[in-house]
Amino acid sequence: MNTAPAVKEGPAGPVVVQADRKAPNLAARLGAGLRAANPAFVLLFGAAGQQLAELGDSLRDGLPDDCMVAGCSSAGEIGPDGYSSDSVVAIGFPRDSFRANALILKNLSSLPVSNWMASLRQMNAGFAADPSRSSFGILLVDGVTGQEDALVATVEAALPALPVIGGSAGDGLEFRSTTLFLNGELHQDVAIFLLIETDLSVSEVTFSHFSPTTTRAVVTAASPDRRQILELNAEPAAEEYARLTGIPRDRLTPTDFARSPLLLRTGQRHHVRAISEATPDGGLALMSAIDTGTVLTLGRSEDLTQGFTEALESLPRPPLMILGFDCILRRLALERAGRVADMSGIFSRFRVIGFNTYGEQHSGMHVNQTFVGLAFMPPPSDRPIDAA
């Protein structure tokens, strides 16, 4: 067991516990570390399927009766020592500093948008957040439904003043089936929305290690329902992508897609439209929405760690913890570059805890190959805590 309370002194910050997924008495190991936090809610990342359900139920039995437990399967975990695999990470949010409610947004595949909006607004009205405290939302989403774009837009429309971040649940590198858990029930084809209030200061952190090149392409044929580009510049999509990148078509790999993604410009920012694979019919399967007529820009990879460190160092105060959602494609790029240990060291230094995702949600958008996080910090009146 690796128990890492994120707070040395001062206000009550989250408590983190991590253990090997196959460890004996896993629930007891995690529960022992979480109970000290007297949590209002617990987030659980890494376990999948029936193990997630059994683990969630066992944890609830040993925690306060009104403690919510929500979790999802992942494509990798971020624990106290950085990146890990085949583990379970549990985060306890102390009730002294946090209050939360949760809502299941069902039937992602059929997009019941009106029902979602009504439920979100009703939940928000009943929550009656204290305006003197920080409020935010967290989304955990079934990562293989392909409906994140519409979901995030719906949440943004229903609760426009609320900062919301999140991640799409993973399935290792299989991309077949993901699972989510909330308060005794295992789910698929859903999103879990958590509405949270805290007396800590909260600051959003986002980072993408790409800049746009001058190379652009037009999607001349697409299958939006399948998130596939069929043609780029009136040529078979995979062939044209290979030409634009200078990589032979038969040598394209997931790592190549991760290093040279397609970017979509929105306002003054470029967002990654990550490629998951070349399809047998010569198309490109994406991890975000796409449509005919979209203009895309080829991305160029920058330093994988420098900008991220600078973003964390610019926070107002050293964080008690940063809840992080980090795309699995970023981790693959770090592995290829031999920089996993470097990033893990940064995660550990700034107390980043979370999981590797199939996509990230922030600012009303679903994106890829991006780190999205929330930093929890002492209020300005409290003495800063050393993050070293």
The string of pLDDT tens digits covering residues 327-386 is 998 998 899 889 999 999 999 999 999 999 999 999 899 999 999 999 999 998 654 444
Name which of 202, 211, 278 is nearest 247 in CA terms: 278
pLDDT digits (tens, 9 = 90+) for 254-263: 888 888 899 9
Name which of 11, 23, 64 is nearest 42 in CA terms: 64
The predicted pLDDT at position 174 comes to 87
Cite the DSSP H helix spans in 1-48. Answer: 26-35
The predicted pLDDT at position 384 comes to 46
pLDDT at 5 over 50: no
pLDDT at 169 over 90: yes
pLDDT digits (tens, 9 = 90+) for 16-32: 999 999 999 999 999 99
pLDDT at 388 over 90: no
Confidence category of residue 10, pLDDT binned at 50, 70, 90: low
Say which residue, 210 or 73, is predicted with more confidence: 73
Region of 330 (left: φ > 0; alpha: ψ -120 to 50; beta: rest) is: alpha
In the chain, what are the domain boundaries? 2-207+305-377, 210-301
CB 337 within 8 A of CB 221: no
Quickly count: other Cβ atoms within 10 Å of residue 88's Cβ.
28
The sheet with strand 321-327 has its strands ordered as 82-84, 77-79, 352-357, 321-327, 371-377, 201-207
The predicted pLDDT at position 276 comes to 86
Name which of 265, 257, 261, 288 is nearest 361 in CA terms: 288
How far apart are alpha carbons 57 and 297 in whole angstroms? 46
pTM of the entire structure?
0.88
The sheet with strand 360-362 has its strands ordered as 98-105, 191-198, 134-141, 164-168, 360-362, 365-367
The DSSP element (H or E) to which 176 belongs, if any, is none
pLDDT at 111 over 60: yes
The predicted pLDDT at position 11 comes to 65
| Average pLDDT, rounded, for the chain | 91
pLDDT at 8 over 50: no
Phi and psi for 162 in degrees, rounded to 5? -100, 125
pLDDT digits (tens, 9 = 90+) for 273-332: 889 899 999 999 998 889 999 999 999 888 888 889 999 999 999 999 999 999 998 998
The predicted pLDDT at position 101 comes to 97
The predicted pLDDT at position 209 comes to 85
Confidence category of residue 4, pLDDT binned at 50, 70, 90: very low
pLDDT digits (tens, 9 = 90+) for 198-207: 999 999 999 9
For the residues of 283-339, what is the DSSP string, one character each? -EEESS---TT-EEEEEEE--SSHHHHHHHHTSSS--SEEEEEEEHHHHHHHHHHT-
Q: What is the chain's length? A: 388
The predicted pLDDT at position 1 comes to 42
Output the CA torsion sign for 300, 257, 259, 326.
Answer: positive
Residue 85 DSSP SS3: coil
Cite the DSSP H helix spans in 113-270. Answer: 113-127, 148-158, 237-245, 254-259
The predicted pLDDT at position 254 comes to 81
